Structure 1
Amino acid sequence: MFIKDVCKECKLTKKAVEYYEEQGLISPAVEDNGYRNYSDDDVAALKEISVLRKLGISVGDIKDILASNNKRAALAKCKYKADLEVEKSLAKKKCLEQLMKDYDIDQTAAYVEDNIEKHFTIKERLLQAFPGVYGMYLCLHFGQFLDGQIDTDEKQEAYNKIIDYLDGIQKIEFPKEVEEYLCQFFEQSEQAMEKLNSAIMEAVNNTDEYLERNKQSIDEYLKYRNSDEFKKTPAYEMRQLLSQFLQENGYYDIFVENMKILSNSYREYFDKLQAANRIFMDKYPQVK
């Protein structure tokens, strides 16, 4: 079945079908003329994906569900997250109603601490602790590893150390145009952010294959990154500011080490990242 018929059958746009293929959720056969031929399994998977996306399940979780031999168990994790969101929303609604009656901030603060904050993900806690561009930057880079909650004393201690570290370091002064660039990047659609995170994880998990398949793009990027044109962009300025920040502060000793305790997924990612970086440096020794 070709894409036009697939879109009609699955009630999806062409861009959606192409995106799910890019994410590795389906693998249609490619004919000699370059056209994709979608199998019955591909169509069934797309229908499944469409339903799960409408239920608010992320592409990452859908990938786990499709690969699982026990779909009910995989879905149970998603339901648990949804239950927490419902419970948190109900607590917020009740809190707002009470606040509208008496506007007692002290009483409300106690209620929030006892009934709402306990449902916050680590990412939500970070955004509360660091509002503005600083918190957005942290969540942009680490948010995919921080959807869990602080459920052990060890994690709480690690989180406290991270907060103390981030709160104690010298503030990074982003120029106005860099802040605007960062805000625009952070506010991209969920789909665009998932695509970016997925590309990073693919490069880390299958480094040799990724480098070979994207050799031309990587060569062009490295050429651009070393150009005078790139050095005039907000992206370059942000890179320089952050590079200096990492060199002058105990980023790896404090932040990274405690992130490994706070998030198992980040610890696994960091180990894979180190291995991927060694492979990359072997292939591109000109990169510092």
Structure 2
Amino acid sequence: MYIKDVCSKCKLTKKAVEYYEQQGLIYPKVLENGYRIYSEEDINKLKEIGALRKIGISIADIKDILESNNKSAALSKCKYKMNLEFEKSIAKKKCLEQLIKDYNIDNALKYIEENIDKFFTIKEKLLQSFPGWYGMYLSIHFGQFLNGKIDTEEKENAYKKIVEYLDKIEGIQLPDELEEYLLQSTEYLEDVDMQKINNIILDAVNNTEEYLKQNKEDIEKYLEFKNSDEYKNSIAYKMQQLLLKFQQESGYYDIFIKNLKILSDSYREYFEKLQAANKIFLDKYPQIDNTYNRL
């Protein structure tokens, strides 16, 4: 079935169907002329995706649901997250109503500590603690691993060490032009954009050999650009050098990364896969300094 008929049957726009393909949710057959043929399985998945999106389930969760052998269990996880968000919204509304009534900030802070803080994800807590460009940097690079909550004493201690470390570090002040560059480059990133970027990174780490094979030409062009005078005179290069210097001299790996692996099980698993992927990449492209690939 061609995309026009698929859109009509599934009640989706062409752009939506194309987006779900880009996200790796469906895999239509591509003909030599570039036209796509959608199978009955693709159509059923698109109907499923459409229904799940309309009840507010994220693309990442939909991917887990589609791949799960136990749909009910996968959906129950989504329901649990929705319940938490609902309870958090009710608590926020009550706090707002109280502020409208008497605007007592001390009472509001006490209410937030007792009734709202427990609902925040690790990512939300870090963004609140570190507003501005560094909070954005943390969210962009680590946000996908920080959607859980602090639910053990070990994680609580790890979180405190991370916050203490980030709050005390020196030497990470950016020149005005670099701070403006980072803020502008991240200001318009939507959650779907971040999910797409994260999917690309995860695919490269999980399937390194295949990723290098499929993207050989693009990787070689990228490496050529990284060695060019144009790149070395760019703001992006200045930003990278500042961050690399900071990471090497500040205890970034010994404190931040060490405790991040305690705080997030998913990051610990990713880090181990990343180390293996780096080795494969450096074996193929030994001219590249491995510090470019460390997260």
Partner amino acid for 1:189?
A: E
Residue matched to 2:106: 106
Residue matched to 2:48: 48
In the aligned structure 2, how far is the partner of 1:184 from the partner of 1:54? 31
Q: CA RMSD in A?
A: 1.3
In the aligned structure 1, how far is the partner of 2:105 from the partner of 2:182? 33
Residue matched to 2:145: 145
- From the superposition, tell whether residues 55 and 232 of structure 1 become closer, same or farther in structure 2 (CA, over 3 Å): farther
Quick check: 1:193 aligned with 2:194? yes
Q: Secondary structure at the match of 2:24?
A: coil
Which string of whole-angstrom CA distances, capped at 9 and with x for unpartnered residues, describes residues 81-121 of structure 1? 11111111110110111111111111111111000011110
Residue matched to 1:182: 182
Residue matched to 1:68: 68
Which string of whole-angstrom CA distances, capped at 9 and with x for unpartnered residues, describes residues 184-238 of structure 1? 3333122211110000000000000001000111011111111111123222111
- 3-12 vs 36-45, which moves further: 3-12
**Structure 2, unpaired ranges of 5+:** 290-295
Q: Secondary structure at the match of 1:156?
A: helix
- 57-66 vs 118-127, which moves further: 57-66
How far does residue 138 in structure 1 lie from its aligned partner after superposition?
A: 0.7
- 58-67 vs 231-240, which moves further: 231-240
In the aligned structure 2, how far is the partner of 1:8 from the partner of 1:223? 45
In the aligned structure 1, how far is the partner of 2:145 from the partner of 2:114? 25
After TM superposition, the structure 1 = structure 2 runs for residues 83-102 of structure 1, keeping only pairs within 5 Å, are 83-102=83-102
Residue matched to 1:271: 272
Partner amino acid for 1:45?
A: K
In the aligned structure 2, how far is the partner of 1:185 from the partner of 1:146? 22
Contact preservation (8 Å) 2:171, 2:246: no
In the aligned structure 2, how far is the partner of 1:96 from the partner of 1:50? 34
- From the superposition, tell whether residues 130 and 171 of structure 1 become closer, same or farther in structure 2 (CA, over 3 Å): farther
Residue matched to 1:159: 159
How far does residue 122 in structure 1 lie from its aligned partner after superposition?
A: 0.3
Residue matched to 2:22: 22
Partner amino acid for 1:170?
A: E
In the aligned structure 1, how far is the partner of 2:274 from the partner of 2:89? 36
- 20-29 vs 112-121, which moves further: 20-29
TM-score normalised by L of structure 2: 0.94
Percent identity for Structure 1 against Structure 2: 66
In the aligned structure 1, how far is the partner of 2:26 from the partner of 2:33? 20
In the aligned structure 1, how far is the partner of 2:16 from the partner of 2:287? 38
Quick check: 1:283 aligned with 2:284? yes
Partner amino acid for 2:62?
A: I
- 171-180 vs 43-52, which moves further: 171-180
How far does residue 171 in structure 1 lie from its aligned partner after superposition?
A: 4.6
In the aligned structure 1, how far is the partner of 2:186 from the partner of 2:81? 23
Quick check: 1:39 aligned with 2:39? yes
After TM superposition, the structure 1 = structure 2 runs for residues 236-251 of structure 1, keeping only pairs within 5 Å, are 236-251=237-252
Residue matched to 1:10: 10
Which string of whole-angstrom CA distances, capped at 9 and with x for unpartnered residues, describes residues 38-85 of structure 1? 001101101111222222222211111001111111011111111111
Q: Secondary structure at the match of 1:287?
A: coil
Quick check: 1:121 aligned with 2:146? no
Residue matched to 1:213: 214
Partner amino acid for 2:12?
A: L
Residue matched to 1:253: 254
TM-score normalised by L of structure 1: 0.96
**Structure 1, unpaired ranges of 5+:** none
In the aligned structure 2, how far is the partner of 1:19 from the partner of 1:284? 32
Partner amino acid for 1:52?
A: L
Residue matched to 2:292: none
Residue matched to 1:230: 231
How far does residue 260 in structure 1 lie from its aligned partner after superposition?
A: 0.8
In the aligned structure 1, how far is the partner of 2:202 from the partner of 2:226? 22
In the aligned structure 1, how far is the partner of 2:182 from the partner of 2:119? 28
Partner amino acid for 1:213?
A: Q
Q: Secondary structure at the match of 2:229?
A: coil
Aligned residues: 288
